[in-house]
């Protein structure tokens, strides 16, 4: 009787191969790297100043006319689409990691945002949305006189 070294990773690979055969997929594709990309969602930063809230979204290669910013019922919605380059007969892709297509991000707004004064601007692929606070929500300083 001979000893056989146990390799837990080999068993995991065998199990993965069996599942792939059952479901008709091959995640490893003969040892090649496989990568699944999630739906595209632009990254955002949200900040606050004394006068307003600011949302900055990264939207590279998205044209101004392909972006819609709306505020309805205390919800800010950013919608848009990034179009894929047209295929060229003399160009062959080896890897495509950038995501394309439609996106939508929604943000619940605090009660102190003045919805009528929301502004949006895009420059160099960065969308800046300014959400001004209502006048009564802004902090005020009051001078106190000692008498």
DSSP string, 34-86: --PPPPP---EEEEE-SSEEEEEEE-TT--GGGEEEEEETTEEEEEEEEPPPP
Give me the percent of the chain exceeding a pLDDT of 70.
84
Supply the pLDDT for residue 24: 66
Fold type of domain 37-85+98-137: Immunoglobulin-like (2.60.40)
- For residues 52 and 110, is the Cβ–Cβ distance under 8 A? no
Whole-structure pTM value: 0.64
H/E element, 101? strand 101-108
pLDDT tens digits, one per residue of 49-90:
999 999 999 999 899 999 999 999 999 999 999 888 777 778
């Amino acid at each position: 009787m001979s000893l056989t070294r146990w390799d837990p990773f080999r068993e995991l690979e065998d199990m993965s191969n069996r599942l792939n055969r059952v479901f008709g997929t091959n995640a490893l594709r003969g040892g090649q790297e496989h990568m699944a990309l999630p739906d595209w969602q632009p990254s955002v930063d949200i900040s606050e100043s004394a006068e307003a809230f600011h949302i900055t979204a990264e939207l590279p290669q998205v044209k101004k006319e392909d972006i819609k910013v709306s505020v309805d019922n205390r919800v800010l919605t950013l919608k848009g689409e990034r179009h894929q380059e047209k295929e060229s007969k003399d160009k062959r892709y080896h890897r495509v990691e950038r995501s394309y297509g439609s996106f939508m991000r929604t943000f619940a707004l605090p009660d102190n945002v003045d919805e009528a004064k929301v502004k949006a601007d895009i420059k160099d692929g960065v969308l800046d949305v300014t959400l001004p606070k209502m006048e009564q929500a802004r902090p005020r300083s009051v001078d106190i006189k000692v008498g």
